[in-house]
Structure 1
Amino acid sequence: MPTLSAGALKRMLHLPADVVIGTPRVERDRADREIVVVPVRPYARGMGRCAECGGHGRPYDRLPTRRWRHLDIGCARLFLEYAPRRVTCAEHGVTVAMVPWARRRSAYTYDFEQQVAWLSVHAPRSAVSALTRVDWKSVGPICRRVADDLRAEQGAGLFDRLRSIGVDETSYRKGHKYMTVVVDHDRGRVVWMHQGHGEKVFDLFFQQLTPDQRASIQVITGDGARWIDECAFRWCPMAERILDGFHIVSWATDALDKVRTAAWREARKQGVAKKGKK
C-alpha cells in the first residue's frame, strides 16, 4: 500500500519549512470523536529561541507535551503535538521557547487563527464558533492576535500620509452598544476604532495624531452628524467636509418615499388614484 511521505504531509498541512513531523495517529477525544494528532518539532537550530524577542537562550528545562489546533483534515480536527522547551533569555529570563507554527501563548496555529479571523469578517461569532468547532469566547482573542500582528507589520506609520478619511459609528450587540470607526479611503483600510460614539470619542482619534499628520488630512467624509463637523473644524480647519454617498442616497430615497406617499394620498382624496398606479 502506498504511503504519504513526511515531506508531502508537511506541504499538505502547510507547515513551515523548519518543522520536522512524525507519524500521524488517530485518537478519540473526551466526546468520543476522532481527532488526528501529528507529532512535530522545530529544527535543532530553532529550538532555543526566546518567544519574547527571538534571541537565542540557554536551555532550562522541558514542559509537558501540549497540542495546538490546526486546520481540519477532512471532517476530523487536527492537532500538532510537541513538548516545548524553556530557555533562559539574557533579557527576559526564563521563558518558553518560540515555536514556528504558532504565536506565543496561543493554543492554535497561525493558519487556524488566520482562518478564524477571515471568517469573523464575513460571519457572526456564533457561526464562526460552530463552523470551526471552537468555544465562542476564543474567537475574540484569536482576532486580536491576528490584528496585532497586522499592525506590527504595517509599522508605526498607520497614521502617516492620511489624506482622505471617513468616520461613522456602527452598532453591535443588537444595537445596544456603538463603536466609532475611521477609515483611510486612499488605502482602503480601517486605521482606528474605539468604543462609543460622539464628539468626545472622535476627539480621541485626533489626539493620537501629530500636528503634521492632522495637517495632511484634506477630506473628511461622514454623515450629517454635528459632532463630526465640530471635530473636523476644530482639529483640521483646512480639511474639506463631505457627506458620504451612502447617506446621501439613503436620505434621497427616504425623501422620495415621503413625496410619493403624499402624492398618492392627495390623488386618493381627489378621486384620481387608480389601483396599480401607485
Structure 2
Amino acid sequence: MARLERLAWLGRYQRVTDRLAQACSQLLQSSNVQAVARFFDLGWHTVKTLDKARLRESVCEPDWTRIEYLAMDEFALHKGHRYATVLVDPIGRQVLWIGPGRSRETAQAFFEQLPPGVAQRIKAVAIDMTTAYELEIRDHCPQAEIVYDLFHVVAKYGREVIDRVRVDQANRLRQDRPARRIIKSSRWLLLRNRDNQDRQQAVRLDELLQANQPLLTVYVLRDELKRLWFYPRPAWAKQAWNHWCDLADRAAECRHQGGPRS
C-alpha cells in the first residue's frame, strides 16, 4: 500500500528544498532571475516561481493613510514598444501599483482603485513631462503640486535647447564646411554627461565649447539647471531658479541681438 510522507525540508508540490529556496531568495535580493538560475543550475521558471513567493511574503500592503507623495513613471517591457506605468511612494520607497500602458487611461485606473480619501491627501506627484499623467493628476488630485523629475527635465532641455542651438550654429557655418561638420557631428557629445565621457571625448567637448559661445552658454545653463534639485531649502532653490531664469532670458536676448552685450 502506497502512502505519502510529509518532508519537513520540502514544501508541498515543490521541486526544490526549503534550504535551496532560501538560498535563491537571498541571492534574488541583489540579482536577477536569470543570473540566479544560472548560478544554481535551475530552470528560469523555477526561480521565477520562487521569486514570486518571496515577494508575496516580503511585500506588504501599503499604508495608504500615511502616503502624501507619489512618483509616477513609465518603463519599457522587454525590448519592444510595450510600456507599463509604475507608481511609487518616494518617502517609504515602496512600489504601490503597476499597470499596463502609459496612457491617460492607465493613470486613471490607478486613481480609481485608491481607497476613499487617499487622492485628496496627496500633496505632490513627481512625474516626467507626460501630458497624460498630468491631466489625470489635475483631475483626481487638484490640490497636489506637479513636480517634474530631474532626468526628464534635463533630457528635454538637451533635446529642445542644446540641440536646437547646435543645429542653428551648424546652419550659420554653411560656408565653412570643416567647422560645420564638427558641430553637426557633436550631438551626442553635447547631450552626454561629462561623467560618461572618456578623456578624448572630454577634450573634444572643451575645444568645441571654447570655439562656440552660444553652445557654451546653453551648456553651462544645463549644468546650472541640474543644481536646482539639490538645494536643501526651498527658499534657496526658488532664489536659484529665479536667477537661472534671468540668465536664460539674458542669453536669449543676446542670441536674438546677434552677440554678447557690453
- TM-score (norm. length: structure 1): 0.56
Which residue of 149, 155, 174 maps to 1:244?
A: 149
| Alignment partner of 1:111 is 2:26 | no
* Preserved CA contact (<8 Å) 2:62 2:96: no
Contact 1:167 1:183 in 2 (8 A): yes
Q: How far does the alpha carbon of each residue in 1:86-106 deviate from its partner, in whole angstroms, 9 at most, with x for none? A: xxxxxxxxxxxxx5x676654
Q: For residue 201 of structure 1, what is the amino acid of its counterpart?
A: T
2:215 alignment counterpart? none
**Which aligned pairs between 1:1-278 and structure 2 lie closer than 5 A?**
63-64=4-5, 83-84=6-7, 99=8, 105-106=13-14, 107-109=16-18, 110-119=21-30, 122-123=31-32, 125-151=33-59, 154=60, 156-255=61-160, 256-269=162-175, 273=179, 277-278=207-208
Structure 1 or 2: larger strand share? 1
* Change in 2 beyond 3 A, CA 1:212/1:113: farther
1:108, CA displacement in angstroms? Answer: 4.6
Q: Which amino acid aligns with 1:232?
A: I
CA distances 1:187-221 after superposition (whole Å, capped 9, x unpaired): 12211112333122222221221232112211111
- Taking structure 2 as the reference length, the TM-score comes to 0.59
Count the aligned residue pairs: 179
Residues 116, 132 of structure 1: 8 Å contact kept = no
Identity of aligned residues (%): 24
State the Cα deviation string for residues 91-145 of structure 1 (Å, max 9, x = none): xxxxxxxx5x6766543535224234324xx44x433321232101123222211
Gaps of 5+ in 1: 1-60, 65-82, 85-98
TM-aligned CA distance change 1:137 to 1:194, over 3 Å: same
Measured on the aligned residues, the alpha-carbon RMSD in Å equals: 2.8
Q: Which amino acid in structure 1 is aligned with residue 111 of structure 2?
A: F
CA contact (8 A) 1:267 1:273 kept: yes
Does structure 2 retain, via aligned residues, the 8 Å contact 1:164–1:219? yes
Q: Which has the larger radius of gyration?
A: 1
Question: In 2, distance between residues paired with 1:233 and 1:116?
Answer: 41
Match of 1:192, SS state, is: strand
The 1:234/1:170 distance shift into structure 2, 3 A limit, reads same
**Compared CA separation, residues 189 and 104, structure 1 to 2 (3 A):** farther
Larger relative helix fraction:
2
- Secondary structure of 2:114 counterpart: coil
Change (3 A) 1:145 1:227: same
